[in-house]
Amino acid sequence: MKPLYVLVQCTWGMLQTILGLCVYLFHRNDPHFHYHGAIVTQWEHPSSVSLGLFVFVTSKPYFAKKFESTIPLSELSRGLLVHEYGHTIQSLILGPLYLIAIGIPSTLWGFSPQLARKRKAQQQSYFSFFTERWANALGEFITKEILLGQLVID
């Protein structure tokens, strides 16, 4: 299964995998490991991202302090990994449409100050947006691991 995952990411998901390779090479000195066929880089950036075959997960989630008394950092980090892996499955499904259908909407949802204020005011979970909700479902289904669900992280 892993060779098929890699093959499809490098062909059908080639655009995002090439972008991921560029980011990977820039962060080549950061810690790396494999997870269900994906190449995972743990970086110091406060957020995480998936680009085809490559997953970049934060070692310091910006929202960890909010949950430090109730959820261990290791559990938050594992949940983020499962979520980001779900995005790699979206890449397998959508191929060249991934960046348009998932990448751009997800980035706007996560980084638009207006949307962040709206989420915070309405106590709406970041994971309620269709791209994120679908990534959660795919990540949990494929890995058989449970992740962050509907935490309100903003």
Instruction: Give the pLDDT confidence score for residue 67 in this predicted structure.
Output: 63
Please name the amino acid found at residue 26. Answer: F
pLDDT number for residue 69: 61
Low-confidence residues in the chain, pLDDT < 70 = 1, 62-69, 148-154
- Sign of the four-CA dihedral 29, 41, 47, 7: positive
Nearest Cα residue to 38 out of 18, 58, 17? 17
pLDDT digits (tens, 9 = 90+) for 32-45: 999 999 999 999 99
Question: What 3 state SS string does 85-152 have?
Answer: HHHHHHHHHHHHHHHHHHHHHHHHHHHCHHHHHHHHHCCCCHHHCHHHHHHHHHHHHHHCCCCCCCCC
pLDDT at residue 81, rounded to an integer: 93
Please enumerate in sequence order all residues whose Cβ is within 8 A of that of 64, keeping only pairs 6 or more positions apart, or say none: 73, 76
Q: Which residue ranges make up each domain of the chain?
A: 2-143
Residue written as tokens 């691991």? Answer: 145
Instruction: Give the DSSP H/E element, type plus range, for residue 65.
Output: helix 64-67
152 Cβ contact list (under 8 Å, min separation 6):
119, 123, 124, 125, 126
- Residue 141's pLDDT is 96
Distance from C-alpha of 48 to C-alpha of 140, rounded to nearest angstrom: 17
Extract the tokens encoding 71: 């959820």
Percent of the chain with pLDDT over 70: 89
pTM for this one?
0.91
